Amino acid sequence: MNDKDLSIIIVDDLQFSRIVVKSALKKAGYTGVRLADSAHEALRMLEEKPADVVLADWMMPEMNGLELTDCIRQNDEEKGIYTSIILFTANEGIEYLVEAFEHGVDDYLRKPPNPHELAARVSAAARISAMQNDILETSRQMEQTIQRLQQSALIDEVTGAGNERMLISELDAILEEASTRNGGICLAMIKLNNLDQIEDETGESVKNEILISMYRRLRRTVRPTDVITRLDNDIFGIAMHHTQLGSFKMNALDRIMAAINQRPFKTENNDYKISGSIGVHYYDGKEKVISSTEMLELTQNNLTKAIAQGDNSIIS
């Protein structure tokens, strides 16, 4: 949002003070300014429409600026939003500022405010508000994603990666998009060849430690948008979507293999060297559209060939 499009509320029981502050902000280019003659009026305005910044006088009858701040913070908490608050004060002394910040005030200005300082402080307060609201929105989205995944049972309990159901769901959506927008999808299946043997010798807990470490390595190796899933006891799947044809580079698979061979996997029992095999199928959006089931089968066929060819083989 442009600073000049901010929603601002000025709260002061003195009409002259409200007009002076509004005029200074108007000259600075701010247009979305509302005036409230009391804290109660300001709270009513916030119910109608949230504000990015509230500018309030500290000393007001019925409810002062600190009490208004407490009410705004409570409302923000209930609604999952953040409002930046600047108090105007004639009080001198550090103890007043400490009290203000303890109540959740973001900034303060001496009365009467300098117009240039006022505009700069409002701009800074707006950045705080925008940053906090971005964080809150990201947290909400993450919580919603986690809830959806839990409800749909799309998560592998051991590693935290997706499972086969999640991969199929993602592939269905990505294949449709790729076919309509001429994108591309690379699906890779990675088998940890000697994991079964390690499990037979050491037990399930050691195997799970290796699987968790493997998922973390893969997550660091591929792009944040790539979908990583665990498909079987010792097989991971990675779906890599590319919006432009030709943008996929085969060296991405080399990086995945390098991640497997990077160093032994450290466990509570010992350090274990793991070898891998990778089967790959690339779908070109210009081709005839295929289903997620077909995509999985084609990739599985190449994985079988890679396993037969030997450790650290990549077949596409």
At 111-138, the pLDDT tens digits run 888 999 999 999 999 999 999 999 988 8
Question: Do 73 and 196 fall into the same domain?
Answer: no
- Cα gap 62→47, rounded to integer Å: 19
Phi and psi at 250, nearest 5°, equal -65, -20
Q: Is residue 159 part of a domain?
A: no
For tokens 């002062």, name the residue: 64
CATH number of the domain bearing residue 180: 3.30.70.270
The confidence score (pLDDT) of residue 9 equals 96
Question: Do 55 and 172 fall into the same domain?
Answer: no
Residue 43 pLDDT exceeds 70: yes
Mean pLDDT of the chain: 88
Residue 11 pLDDT exceeds 90: yes
Residue 61 pLDDT exceeds 60: yes
- Give the lowest-confidence range in 79-93, 233-247, 286-300: 233-247
Percent of all residues in the chain with a pLDDT value above 70, rounded to a whole number: 95
Question: Do 201 and 302 fall into the same domain?
Answer: yes
Percent of all residues in the chain with a pLDDT value above 90, rounded to a whole number: 50
Question: Do 169 and 139 fall into the same domain?
Answer: no
Residue 2 pLDDT exceeds 70: no
Question: Do 184 and 48 fall into the same domain?
Answer: no
Residue 3 pLDDT exceeds 70: no
Residue 234 pLDDT exceeds 80: yes
Q: Do the strands 276-284 and 227-232 form a parallel or antiparallel pair, or are they unpaired? A: unpaired
Decide which of 1 and 17 is more confident.
17
Q: Is residue 148 part of a domain?
A: no
DSSP string, 135-180: HHHHHHHHHHHHHHHHHHT-B-TTTSSB-HHHHHHHHHHHHHHHHH
- List all residues 6 or more positions away from 56 whose beta carbon is below 8 Å from its beta carbon: 10, 11, 12, 39, 42, 65, 68, 69, 85, 86, 87, 88
As a whole number, mean pLDDT of residues 271-300 equals 90
Determine the residue type at 91: N
Q: Is residue 154 part of a domain?
A: no
Q: Is residue 150 part of a domain?
A: no
Question: Do 249 and 188 fall into the same domain?
Answer: yes
Q: Is residue 311 part of a domain?
A: yes
H-helix or E-strand containing 99? helix 94-102
- Give the lowest-confidence range in 32-46, 221-235, 245-259: 245-259
The confidence score (pLDDT) of residue 246 equals 61
Q: Is residue 206 part of a domain?
A: yes
How many domains, the chain?
Answer: 2
Task: Give me the sign of the Cα torsion angle 186, 230, 213, 140.
Answer: positive
Domain span including residue 303: 164-315
CATH number of the domain bearing residue 39: 3.40.50.2300
Q: Is residue 158 part of a domain?
A: no
Q: Which of 143, 173, 193 is the last residue of a domain?
A: 143
Q: Which of 182, 181, 152 is nearest to 167 (CA)?
A: 152
Decide which of 114 and 242 is more confident.
114
Question: Do 170 and 137 fall into the same domain?
Answer: no
Residue 1 pLDDT exceeds 60: no
Question: Do 63 and 176 fall into the same domain?
Answer: no
Question: Do 125 and 189 fall into the same domain?
Answer: no
Residue 259 pLDDT exceeds 60: yes
Residue 152 pLDDT exceeds 70: no
Question: Do 22 and 104 fall into the same domain?
Answer: yes
Decide which of 250 and 10 is more confident.
10
Question: Do 138 and 221 fall into the same domain?
Answer: no
Question: Do 137 and 177 fall into the same domain?
Answer: no
